[in-house]
Amino acid sequence: MPTPEPLAHPSRDEIELAAVLHALSDPVRLMMVRGLAGALEGRSCGSFDVPVTKSTCTHHFKILREAGVIRQRQEGTKRVNTLREDDLEVRFPGLLATILQAAEDQSLVSTQA
């Protein structure tokens, strides 16, 4: 069985604001990150109810990982994703929480509309 490719993660200090904002600037990725918030054990791609194919899902998680927003670990054939809340909070205090709150506010308004 081939070894899965190693999953590169930026260190906390290497996390760049522009990359984080880019990673969160896509509605599907924003939805995924909201789904990961509070899921301490992590979630795999398949556990998300998002309107994209599995390969697109994988691509989105790669962008989130490379930006330093999530951590991915291999468990057998699955990749489990967790949010790097602590790293992001130290690097950019309040940023993730504010963006998640904004996403929630916007989605509440769209639901009411």
Length of the chain: 113
- 78-83 sheet: strands from edge to edge: 43-44, 78-83, 70-75
Shortest distance (Å) from residue 24 CB to its own copies: 5
Applying CB under 8 A, among 9, 24, 69, 81 the residue interacting with its own copies is: 24
Residue among 18 and 40 whose Cβ is closer to its own copies: 18
R_g of the chain computed on alpha carbons: 14
Decide: is 106 part of the binding site for its own copies (CB under 8 A): yes
As a whole number of angstroms, the distance between CA 68 and CA 16 comes to: 8
| Interaction site with its own copies (CB under 8 A) | 13, 16-19, 21-22, 24-27, 30, 92-95, 98-99, 101-103, 105-106, 109
